[in-house]
Amino acid sequence: MSKPRAIIELLATQFSGEFEQTIQRSEKLRQLWHRLRRKLDADLASHCQLQNLRDGMLIIACDSTAWATRLRYQIPTLLEAMHHIMGHEGIHDIQIRVQPVSQKTQQQSARATLSSHGAHCLKQCADTISDPALRQALEQLAKRQCNSGES
């Protein structure tokens, strides 16, 4: 049995064009955030999430104003780290947003649900994929909707 792979790895080998660019951008942002998180203390990092990188502006969301304030004090350190990571052509500013996480959102993120339409789309996509590992992964995702008892 082969080692499990992340679905993003499987998708990246199957698509091209705009979808491929989106996957690559997502992966670059994930790697960038991983490197930046190491510059923050663990408590602060756990309350922040990279949202976007646009026109040299890094956008980070915090789940409360208190964590956002603590992060604002770290902006010079993060900008210096960004210059080491990306050079001077990278990020010139950091914007911090406050996005409180409601209890309902936290509970929903614990177990994602899939609509019957979503399951049907995944199944149709799986039927067109030649890579057996990706096909199997998509079929398993589609089956989750059936197993959750929703219609």
Give the tens place of pLDDT for each residue, 40-98. Answer: 999 999 999 999 988 889 999 999 999 999 999 999 988 888 888 777 667 889 999 99
Q: Which of 8, 11, 13, 56 is nearest to 30 (CA)?
A: 8
Provide, rounded to the nearest whole percent, the portion of the chain with pLDDT above 70: 79
Reply yes or no on whether the pLDDT at 4 is more than 80: no
Name residue 48's beta-bridge partners: 62
Reply yes or no on whether the pLDDT at 140 is more than 50: yes
Q: What is the pLDDT of residues 90-112, one digit of tens each?
A: 788 999 999 987 655 555 555 66
H-only helix segments in the chain? 7-12, 18-37, 42-45, 65-73, 75-86, 103-110, 116-128, 132-147
Q: What is the mean pLDDT of residues 1-13?
A: 68
The pTM assigned to this predicted structure is 0.57
Are the C-beta atoms of residues 76 and 40 closer than 8 Å to each other?
no
